[in-house]
Amino acid sequence: MTELTANRAHYPALDGLRGIASLLVVIYHNFGFINHYFFFGWLGLDIFFVLSGFLITDILLKTIENKNFLRNFYARRVLRVFPLYYLSLIIFLVILPRIDTLPIHLDYFVTNQVWLWSYLQNWLFIFYSHHRENALNHLWSLAVEEQFYILWPLVVICLRKTKYLLVFILILLLLTIGMRWWVWNQHIEDLAYYNLYTFTRIDGICIGCMVALLQKINVRFLEKNTSIVIFVFAALNFLFYFLNLHDTLPYLAIIGYTTFAMIFGLLVYDIVSIGTGIYRKIFNIAPLKFFGRISYGCYIIHWPLYLIISPYLKTWATLHLSSFSPDFFAASIATVLAYLLGYLTYRYFEMKFLVLKKHFV
């Protein structure tokens, strides 16, 4: 089911998918001690990226002919993203570092804070990585998305035609994969390779853009050619393993991120265009949609919150809950508090700015 809000399509089930992505990421971080069960929890970020690529492209294509197109788009993005992000930077980079007893280290981020204020921290973590301090490392994904929000509308308004845009985004995806392959073969000294692969991970965004563009070009294209798409990506995986018999190339960096993003892209397409019954029932579950709506604040706060309170919670649990795992207790409480704070920031802070979006339609 699709709803129209301020002349834009809204897909309620995608809130449910975003809720699942949020849960995957939070569990992956907070319950790291059992990541052999949730090893692929990091895929929640790829779901977020696919959703961003699809929804932003869908909005741009529907509003490109409107008056003040770019102004309205950027204003709405600023109101959605900036207030909570910059409030969090004030807390993490200005207020908390003044507390000497804080059980997390923020010196690295304070020293390099210009990168975070300018949404360039993904590049900071590549070229000036720090292994001891990681309280704000998760904000790299917000930098990737913000860079996309800034540049993609300019490309859309320059090329305009959906077929040109589809070719552009496909070339960008191939260049990204090719760049990662080339860098791997250069064996550049002191380059944080893992960070490079992670913090240049725009595969999901590209796939999400492609889904929106294909939906605009031919709404039934993916439905008719799903088997072909799956075959092509399966063939790429087989080719990768065939050429990589000696395990010299990183799977995720070369083809894995793209393959997983393709799966999520097909899922998004099914939700918005086909409406398969089982997906509609699952992703329209009220709690999942609720988690999706408050996911932004929860994502920002969950990891530093866990690092701050988990030592105290583990100590308390060790003293008072001898039959209960201190790690599990701390992770559970931190997760509940993260979603509680996510709700409070959404209800009493984010909404104050979101209501202003009605002036930019």
- Tens of pLDDT, residue by residue over 147-205, are 999 999 999 999 999 999 999 999 999 998 888 888 888 877 777 777 777 777 899 99
| pLDDT band at residue 76 under the 50/70/90 scheme | very high
Global confidence as pTM = 0.92
Determine the Cα–Cα distance for residues 133 and 253; give it in Å rounded to an integer: 24
Residues 259-273 have pLDDT tens digits of 999 999 999 998 888
What confidence score (pLDDT) does residue 247 get? 66
Determine the Cα angle at 341 with ends 337 and 344, to 5°: 140
Q: Cβ(338)–Cβ(26) under 8 Å?
A: yes
Determine the Cα–Cα distance for residues 304 and 135; give it in Å rounded to an integer: 5
Closest Cα to residue 306, out of 11, 25, 2, 8? 25
Closest Cα to residue 252, out of 180, 165, 321, 301? 180
What confidence score (pLDDT) does residue 25 get? 95
- DSSP per-residue codes, 109-137: HHHTHHHHHTT-HHHHHHHS--SS--TTG
Determine the Cα–Cα distance for residues 40 and 38; give it in Å rounded to an integer: 5
Mean pLDDT highest for which of 93-102, 113-122, 222-231, 233-242?
A: 113-122
Q: How far apart are the first and last CA of the chain?
A: 22
What confidence score (pLDDT) does residue 244 get? 65
Determine the Cα–Cα distance for residues 331 and 315; give it in Å rounded to an integer: 13
Mean pLDDT in residue range 26-39? 84
Specify the 3-state DSSP secondary structure of 276.
Answer: coil
Determine the Cα–Cα distance for residues 202 and 265; give it in Å rounded to an integer: 13
What confidence score (pLDDT) does residue 129 get? 81
Number of domains within the chain: 1
Determine the Cα–Cα distance for residues 337 and 145; give it in Å rounded to an integer: 26
| pLDDT band at residue 6 under the 50/70/90 scheme | very low
Sign of the CA dihedral 154, 122, 28, 262? positive
Q: Which domain holds residue 305?
A: 3-359
What confidence score (pLDDT) does residue 241 get? 72
Q: Is the pLDDT reported for residue 98 higher than 70?
A: yes
Burial zone of 69 (CB within 10 Å; 0-12 exposed, 13-18 middle, 19+ buried): middle
| pLDDT band at residue 73 under the 50/70/90 scheme | very high
Mean pLDDT in residue range 117-135? 88
Q: Is the pLDDT reported for residue 254 higher than 70?
A: yes
Closest Cα to residue 260, out of 21, 37, 9, 16? 21
Give strand pairing partners of 9.
4
Read off the tokens for 9. Answer: 């399509």
